[in-house]
Amino acid sequence: MPKIFLLFFTILLISSNIFSDEHDNTVSVFSPLNFKAKIEDVKKMLIRLGYYGGNPNENIIIVGGNNFLVIHNPTLMALTVTKFGATNYCKESFSSDKYVANFMFPLGKFTMYYSCEEINKLDKYNLSEKEINCISNKDFEEVIDTDCANLNIKNIKIIEEINKLIMNENKYKTREFIFSIRSKYYNKIQELEFLGNKQLISDINRVIIEEKINYMEQFIEGNKKICNSYGFIIGTEQFGECILQLLSLESLD
């Protein structure tokens, strides 16, 4: 049972700390409480409940722009399937396989914000391996390699274009923009979060019932062995009374 309460604690901790300080630009999900020792127990419970998985066919895109989307999945913390769905959205949005959704920010227990970004940005230019290395490590290479400095001057327009692209992508990773989207679609997000919570509670209750049933089955089997060791024959009235007596002792504890 402690795992159940730990699960509730972690879920509440996650949800209560999201946007806890609207005037703080830093993106923080968890409070500084030290509960690393409990994380593995939480993961095991979530995996048992079927979480960390999720059905990709149940992904719901609440809103999507060219560079971002808000995606919901009714499975708690379905990070893998939502990221998969978000990456597919980005690829389709830009009609390119070079776009991914690596940046994620949780808007709830079942709803995630993702932004799109282009990977291997220099691949679309006809550059040599040396030029790519010089641009990719510009600040470092120009200091130790004069050839890089000259090559970067030659490719200054490409560098400026890449920097503009990065700046544009970073706009969609700011707390202000994410919060504006969350505020605009707050009602829809809350509606889906409510349904997700309802299913989560149902799943947790199912696990609790299963644990109780498993415990009672193991307890009765153990008592059968005890009564049998006392010489009572299975199926007799005396054997049944022995089982009931042991059960009554357990209830007193």
| Spatial separation of the C-alpha atoms in residues 42 and 65, rounded to whole Å | 34
* Mean pLDDT across 114-122: 94
- Among 9-13, 110-114, 167-171, 219-223, which stretch is predicted with the lowest mean pLDDT? 9-13
Among 81, 101, 105, which residue's Cα sits nearest to residue 29? 105
The confidence band for 59, taking pLDDT boundaries of 50, 70 and 90, is very high
pLDDT in the model for residue 142? 55
Q: Is the pLDDT of residue 27 over 90?
A: no
In contact, 91 and 64? CB cutoff 8 Å: no
The confidence band for 111, taking pLDDT boundaries of 50, 70 and 90, is very high
In contact, 135 and 149? CB cutoff 8 Å: no
Contacts 24+ apart (CB under 8 A), 118-123: 118/94, 118/165, 118/169, 121/162, 121/165, 121/166, 122/158, 122/162, 123/98
Q: Is the pLDDT of residue 52 over 90?
A: no
Query: What is the residue extent of each domain of the chain?
Result: 1-49, 121-167, 218-252
The enclosing H or E element of 99 equals strand 99-106
Mean pLDDT of the chain: 79
pLDDT in the model for residue 79? 86
pLDDT in the model for residue 44? 61
For the chain, percent of residues with pLDDT exceeding 90 = 36
More confident residue, 9 or 68: 68
Q: Is the pLDDT of residue 225 over 50?
A: yes
pLDDT single digits (tens) 60-92: 999 999 899 999 999 887 888 999 999 999 999
Q: Is the pLDDT of residue 150 over 50?
A: yes
pLDDT in the model for residue 46? 58
- Among 59-73, 130-144, 150-164, 196-210, which stretch is predicted with the lowest mean pLDDT? 130-144
Q: Is the pLDDT of residue 135 over 60?
A: yes
Alpha carbon 197 to chain centroid, angstroms:
15
For the chain, percent of residues with pLDDT exceeding 70 = 75
For the sheet with 68-72, list strands across it. Answer: 60-64, 68-72, 111-118, 99-106
pTM: 0.63
CB atoms under 10 Å from CB of 241, counted, come to 12
More confident residue, 25 or 234: 234
